[in-house]
Amino acid sequence: MRIARTGLTLAATVLPAVCLGEPQQEQMTPAPETAPVQEEKAPPLEGTQPDWKFQFEPSAWYAGASGKVRIAGAPASSGTVRINDLNLDNPKLTPAGELHVRTGNWRFGFGTFFFSQNRLQTMGVGGQLGTVAFVPGDQVYSKMEQNEYVPVVGYEFWRRSPEPSDAVKFLGRLEVFGGARLDDVEFSFAQGAVASSQSEFFGQAILGIKGSMEIAEQFSIDLETSAGGWPGGNDYAWSWDITVGFMWRPIPNVGVQLGYRNLVNELRSGSDSQRFYYNGGLAGLFFGAVVRF
């Protein structure tokens, strides 16, 4: 009994302490904070790539020649002969074309044409061209060739962009350009067994201005004019060129064009009996295609 009483006393002493004691809390380790994931960004480019635009304009120029000519071989006192007296003034379809490359405000262009005309004419006047002398009634064979190459660099210094409120969208541009006009000219004449010809090459610097207006992204009007020269004593070149063109693009990158071009030039070389002289020009309508890419 005494042992039992002692056991109950110990139980009464220990149990309340166990029951009333605060439970031991588990030590929680806080989870490490994770850094927010950042989206990977492409490294910045050093500069934007230039936007290159190409435009090719193959065309046919219905050009007629005019003016007067003299070639080497005639006496120094002999004069010139008019192109229309030789019947070389009839219009002739002439292959021509232009290529333009644009980037930003800059344009790099190249234009060319290849004119060739020949006629057998009963002369109404007398004269001498080279060693070929003729009188009224003689039949003279004449041939004229003029091939031209025009590289230019242009800069667009003004632009009028369409406004959102415009009922019809207009885009206007003005550009100044400079470059060279290179002409390869040849005249040939024959009367009976006598023949004479001369070929000359002329180069000159040119400066011009070009204005264009685009309407509703389908129609455009271009006006371009340039003048140039190369003074050099006996070798001399001077020219003036004006072109107006109308373009229609039924689809964005392909179109057709129609216009008028007038080219006037004076070309001369040599002196006395070896003097070459041509003062005239080519003028007429042209038509062709426009391809952009």
Residue at 141 is within a domain: yes
CA pseudo-torsion sign 97, 247, 180, 274: positive
Residue at 27 is within a domain: no
Average pLDDT of the segment spanning 25-34: 51
Residue at 248 is within a domain: yes
Residue at 20 is within a domain: no
pLDDT of 8 higher than 70: no
pLDDT of 61 higher than 60: yes
Instruction: Give the position of tokens 């007398």.
Output: 126
CATH of the domain at 74: 2.40.160.20
Instruction: Give the structural domain span for 136.
Output: 52-292
Q: Give the rounded percent of residues in the chain with a pLDDT score beyond 70.
A: 83
Q: What's the rounded Cα separation, in Å, for the pair 269 and 19?
A: 128
Q: Coil, strand, or helix at residue 47?
A: coil
Q: Which pLDDT does position 35 carry in this prediction?
A: 53
E strands, the chain, in order:
52-70, 81-82, 92-103, 106-122, 127-129, 132-134, 139-160, 170-191, 194-215, 219-230, 236-251, 254-269, 276-292
What is the number of structural domains in the chain? 1
Residue at 12 is within a domain: no
Lowest mean pLDDT, pick from 25-29, 87-91, 150-154, 245-249: 25-29
Q: What's the rounded Cα separation, in Å, for the pair 291 and 12?
A: 108
What is the bridge-based pairing of β-strands 106-122 and 127-129? unpaired
pTM of the model: 0.81
Q: What's the rounded Cα separation, in Å, for the pair 17 and 10?
A: 11
Average pLDDT of the segment spanning 249-256: 93
Residue at 6 is within a domain: no
Q: Residue 30: pLDDT band by 50, 70, 90 thresholds?
A: low
Q: Which pLDDT does position 266 carry in this prediction?
A: 97
Residue at 176 is within a domain: yes
Rg over alpha carbons for the chain, rounded to the nearest Å, is 43
pLDDT for 149-205, tens place per residue?
Answer: 999 999 999 998 877 777 778 889 999 999 999 999 999 999 999 999 999 999 999
pLDDT of 63 higher than 80: yes
Residue at 128 is within a domain: yes
Give the DSSP letter string of 15-35: HHHHHHSPPPPP-PPPPPPPP
